[in-house]
Amino acid sequence: MLEKAIKGSKIYWGWLGLLLAIIGVGFGAYMVQLNQGLSITGMSRDVSWGFYIAQFTFLVGVAASAVMMVIPKYLHHYQAFGRVLILGEFLAVAAVSMCLLFIVVDLGQPQRLFNVLLHPTPNSILFWDMVVLNGYLFLNILIGWVTLQAERKQVPPPSWIKPFIYLSIPWAVSIHTVTAFLYCGLPGRGFWLTAILAPRFLASAFASGPAFLILLCYIVKIFTKWDPGKEAIQSLAKIVTYAIITNLFFLGLEVFTVGYSQIPDHLLHFKYLFFGLHGYSTYVPWMWASVIAGLAAVAILLNPKNRQADNVLAFACVLVFLSCWIDKGLGMISGGFVPNPLEEITEYIPTKLELMVTLGVYAAGFFILTILYKVAVGVKKEVDA
């Protein structure tokens, strides 16, 4: 089926060329980082994780969201998702690939990466994160490819793939749960030391992932003249609506717990993010933008008429995606490190080189996504014809 990726329009090749150029720039920036060390980043002794790990955390959510289609399709036999499920699974493949790349670019000694396998350490959550991420990547490539192949031959998927599909459901939950566990088991980091971190991660994942998928469906529809189907998009829109409401509700639970208990170790991080602390307030406009975008999206999505209008739905999905990205890709990591355990404030702002590396990784992810989508849509059109 891969041959479908090497036949395309000028727009397709132009887009791939653009992505390759961005990958090249990002790779150049990464070469500088390899040479100079992570000193080229805005990270510091106090904020030892930055933009790379934040993007990784956010994208794990995008990857996990495929489960929101696998469950209705395979546990409830909801056939409308049959048309778009492959797009969700291939989005998961691209997102997990970006996650793994972000972990690699974040390492101080990337050439020692395999020490994690050579000296397996089950008491480290990072070890389990590696296991679940790679496992999920493998599961989605396998399931996506096998079901697409069956569809091309217009036969039902082989029965041996079923256990893998069922396994992929708890596995999707596990990737985001384990990623949350990276943070929420640490003493002295009050911002993350909360049992609701994993549910929060999942809620924002099930909002941002399907929201992004809806946008991708529209893009696919415009550029390939293949329609993923109104019903599937409408069902995804409902999932986004419930999930973004749940996400904001969970944020409210956090705010109540830290606000009412008034324990400084937990409260100061929220104060820093939403109001600024001792004159440091870099993230304040961002965090409020996140909350307002989330609330605005809820206001729009709650009305079924808005969901049915393509333009309005797309706009609401952009808001949801933005809200979750700021929350996880920006605030979650920086807010956890500021103030530091000595209650000192060192702010974190990513550098240009850091942003270029980040952009390069995103371009690599979109490159993978484009090729996989080209194959998937090619097969779908072939079957439709």
Binding stretches for another protein (CB under 8 A) = 36-39, 41, 43-46, 48-49, 103, 106-110, 112-113, 115-127, 130-131, 134-135, 138, 142, 146, 158, 160, 164, 182-183, 185-189, 264-265, 336-337, 340-344, 346
Helix axes 352-384, 85-106, angle to 10 degrees: 160
| Rounded (5°) CA angle 381-211-287 | 155
Output the smallest distance, CB 341 to another protein, in A.
Answer: 5
Output the smallest distance, CB 286 to another protein, in A.
Answer: 21
Do 233 and 313 form a contact (C-beta atoms < 8 A)?
yes
d(CA 132, CA 333): 21
Q: Which is nearer to another protein, 11 or 155 (CB)?
A: 155
Residue 221: how many CA atoms within 13 Å on its side-chain side?
16
Residue in 205, 233, 227, 239 with CA at minimum distance from that of residue 311: 233
Beta partners for residue 280, in sequence order: 277
Q: Which is nearer to another protein, 190 or 378 (CB)?
A: 190
Output the smallest distance, CB 114 to another protein, in A.
Answer: 9
Alpha-carbon torsion 281, 274, 60, 323, what sign?
negative
Output the smallest distance, CB 371 to another protein, in A.
Answer: 22
Please give the distance of CA 358 from its chain centroid, rounded to a whole number.
Answer: 14
Output the smallest distance, CB 44 to another protein, in A.
Answer: 4
Output the smallest distance, CB 94 to another protein, in A.
Answer: 19
Q: Which is nearer to another protein, 40 or 66 (CB)?
A: 40
Output the smallest distance, CB 109 to another protein, in A.
Answer: 4
Residue in 99, 93, 137 with CA at minimum distance from that of residue 373: 93
Q: Which is nearer to another protein, 90 or 128 (CB)?
A: 128
Helix axes 85-106, 125-152, angle to 10 degrees: 150
Q: Which is nearer to another protein, 103 or 237 (CB)?
A: 103
d(CA 209, CA 187): 30
d(CA 64, CA 18): 28
d(CA 51, CA 59): 12
Q: Which is nearer to another protein, 9 or 115 (CB)?
A: 115
Q: Which is nearer to another protein, 115 or 303 (CB)?
A: 115
Output the smallest distance, CB 343 to another protein, in A.
Answer: 5
Q: Which is nearer to another protein, 131 or 289 (CB)?
A: 131
The residues, ordered by sequence, that sit 6+ positions from 196 with a Cβ below 8 Å of its Cβ are 250, 253, 254
Output the smallest distance, CB 134 to another protein, in A.
Answer: 5
Output the smallest distance, CB 243 to another protein, in A.
Answer: 28
Q: Which two tokens stand for residue 113?
A: 């990466």
Alpha-carbon torsion 266, 287, 180, 165, what sign?
positive
- Residue 347 backbone phi and psi in degrees, to 5: -80, 155
Residue the block writes with tokens 């609330």: 295
The residues, ordered by sequence, that sit 6+ positions from 39 with a Cβ below 8 Å of its Cβ are none
Q: Which is nearer to another protein, 264 or 285 (CB)?
A: 264
d(CA 118, CA 137): 21
Q: Which is nearer to another protein, 209 or 336 (CB)?
A: 336
